[in-house]
Structure 1
């Protein structure tokens, strides 16, 4: 990063703008002072309403007739679930994609391929699967559970690798001590 701001790639006149997209960012104070003079942090969804707007209106807006249609009161529970899970925008998009895949998982009849646009639209409307609020909440719970288990599995694997490395280091230390003792014994005997 420092090579970008030293005048070699952009003018050294202080006129530059940088946008970073990150779910997680760790910068120490030296880095922050070097590249961030007036930083603006734009957080993703934080409130239940933010999450509902993102999931229902933005990501699944075109599927509204198929996703929790007529269950407006239930979206507050969905928002509460998402706040509790503290998912990033990308994670919410993954949940939305799973819901979209479920809704659109049907076999196209032969008629679809011969039909005009309006009839195709009607067939898609008839054949698309419906998801109720309970299904949306289940999809969120499944996503959170899957990722929690994956993180726990990764932490356990990392722990096991670290233990294995420590055991190898201890064994190497023991072997080195034994070799040094043997060399010392040979040296004493040789004297």
Structure 2
């Protein structure tokens, strides 16, 4: 009441406070005040609303938001660590393989058609297949952490299938299998990522 008297003719702004009950429990209340004319004189009117449940709900919502924010930060940190690991993995696997590919290509191009040339060709094809398998594994890892991007372009599906068949022919022969490519002479061009499409096939 002292606050009301001190305010004079001006209404106090709404405010929140805590009340202590007889049993020791506390309740959060919101106090609203106003000034009215009563019998020709200004009078203060106050309304007290129990907002304990609302405040508890707000506290729970804030705690849930803080937990969600922490989980998001933890997830972003985990993605960052996986990204760093992936970049290291690419370097460690691709660097020696690049040297093997370059050397085998030079060897295959520099020797005459003989058994040595066949061996050099086998090394080059094997290294190329290994390079593709490593790329596929890396792409799977990128997909798991949301870092896989598509490079779409117009493709001739027949030419692509012929290239894949040529690549897999040696694998089939090594297993005493016969690989036959049976596709129509012409197929419409497709708009896709060539590497991803090869992986699927």
Q: What TM-score comes out, normalization by structure 2 length?
A: 0.34
Answer 1 or 2: which has greater strand percent.
2
By percentage of residues, which structure has more helix?
1
Structure with more contact order per residue of length (Cα contacts < 8 Å, sep ≥ 6): 1
TM-score of the pair, normalised by structure 1: 0.36
Q: Which has the larger radius of gyration?
A: 2
